[in-house]
Structures are given as structure tokens and as C-alpha cells.
Amino acid sequence: MNWKVERLRKYLEAEEHILAGQSYTLDGRSVTYADLSQIREGIAALEAEGITPNGVERKRRTMQVVYKE
């Protein structure tokens, strides 16, 4: 399994625990409710790379526009 997929899953799990008012340990660091912004930044960064929790990377779509007269 891709390490980025595993990291995203851990971030999402941590977010659930934090929102429930609990502390959480991620990569050997103790995370509390005050660190919710760090967790969300990590989630956003991985999602921006196209990583999804199920391991399927989202493809970025591009579109070319051709103007005709």
C-alpha cells in the first residue's frame, strides 16, 4: 500500500478522534483538539496530490479551449 494513502487514512482517523474530544497519537506525537488545524492541513495536502483513502489516485483533468471565428 502506498505510504501516502496510509498517512491519509491515519489523518482522517485522527480527525474523527479529535472531533470527538479525544487526544490521539500520530507518528509518535500526541495530538489534542488544539492540533485539529494541523490534521486538516495534512489531509488537504494529501488530497491536493490526488490521494484518496481507498488508494485510488484522482487524475487531474485538463481542458483545451480552441476559439474559432
List 25's β-bridge partners, or say none: 30
Q: What is the DSSP letter of 19?
A: H
In this predicted model, what pLDDT tens digit does every residue of 25-54 receive, in sequence order? Answer: 778 887 766 577 888 898 899 888 888 888
Q: What CA–CA distance (Å, rounded) separates 42 from 14?
A: 11
Beta-strand ranges (E) seen in 27-64 are 29-31
Q: What CA–CA distance (Å, rounded) separates 39 from 13?
A: 10
Q: What is the DSSP letter of 61?
A: P
pTM of the model: 0.56
Q: What CA–CA distance (Å, rounded) separates 4 from 27?
A: 13
